[in-house]
């Protein structure tokens, strides 16, 4: 092979792949934002492990970063976490609305002070449901687009601007284009 060959990822150059990636990143960020509003706006009324909820937000932010860098492996994990969050949102949404009655105080925020009203927290929790449904659909679409496929093409035919050159062994006596240590 010639020295002018590079590793290209042709499926990443498609407009549909770029659009899907952007939508998945936005949905992950919107989900993290909605969760942050519910968690920090209703901190005083939350029961259970608050640390787990903060970790869930950080996981969504980390997955958004990885998807933005074309990491396809995190897409099924994002879909699985979206299913879990969808279930929790469907169960906890009515509970926030039940607190919107006389006798219930407005939840406190994480650093003190009045938090968000229970009706607003219920609405934000219900907004998580369609966002998670969209996230599940778009992560499945992104997984089907084969972002991971790599082909070796001449540099002049590379479609992806970040095409990397092939690794060539610099060992004396190595066959051209190999990276193994086997002598043969």
Dist. CA 40–CA 115, nearest whole Å: 8
Q: Does the structure show a pLDDT above 80 at 45?
A: no
pLDDT for the residue 183: 47
Which range is least confidently modeled, 44-58, 79-93, 132-146? 44-58
DSSP string, 144-170: HT-TT--EEEEGGG--STTPEEPP---
* Sequence-distant (≥ 6) Cβ neighbours of residue 112 within 8 angstroms: none
Neighbours of 105 (CB within 10 A): 11
3-class DSSP assignment, residue 17: helix
pLDDT, average across residues 11-39:
90
Which range is least confidently modeled, 18-22, 70-74, 82-86, 148-152? 148-152
pLDDT, average across residues 64-90:
93
pLDDT digits (tens, 9 = 90+) for 12-24: 778 888 899 999 9
Give me the residue spans of the domains in the chain. Answer: 13-144
pLDDT for the residue 1: 43
Report the b/e string of 107-118 with b at 16+ CB within 10 A: beeeeeeebbbb
Task: Write out the two tokens for 165.
Answer: 């050159």
Provide the mean pLDDT of the chain: 81
Dist. CA 132–CA 138, nearest whole Å: 10
pLDDT digits (tens, 9 = 90+) for 106-147: 677 666 777 778 888 889 999 999 999 999 999 999 888 887
| Share above pLDDT 70 across residues of the chain, in percent, rounded to a whole number | 78
pLDDT for the residue 156: 72
């Amino acid at each position: 092979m010639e020295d002018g060959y590079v590793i290209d990822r042709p499926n990443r150059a498609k407009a549909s792949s770029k659009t899907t990636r952007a939508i998945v990143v936005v949905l992950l960020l919107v989900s993290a934002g909605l969760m942050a509003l519910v968690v920090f706006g209703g901190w005083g009324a939350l029961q259970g492990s608050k640390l787990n909820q903060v970790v869930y937000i950080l996981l969504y932010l980390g997955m958004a970063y990885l998807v933005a860098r074309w990491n396809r492996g995190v897409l099924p994990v994002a879909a699985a976490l979206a299913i879990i969050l969808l279930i929790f949102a469907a169960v906890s949404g009515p509970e926030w609305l039940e607190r919107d009655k006389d006798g219930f105080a407005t939840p406190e925020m994480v650093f003190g002070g009045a938090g968000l009203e229970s009706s607003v927290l219920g609405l934000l929790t219900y907004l998580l449901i369609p966002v998670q449904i969209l996230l599940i659909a778009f992560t499945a679409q992104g997984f089907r687009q084969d972002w991971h496929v790599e082909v070796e093409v001449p540099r002049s035919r590379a479609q992806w601007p970040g095409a990397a050159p092939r690794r060539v062994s610099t060992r004396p006596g190595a066959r051209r284009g190999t990276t193994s240590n086997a002598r043969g």
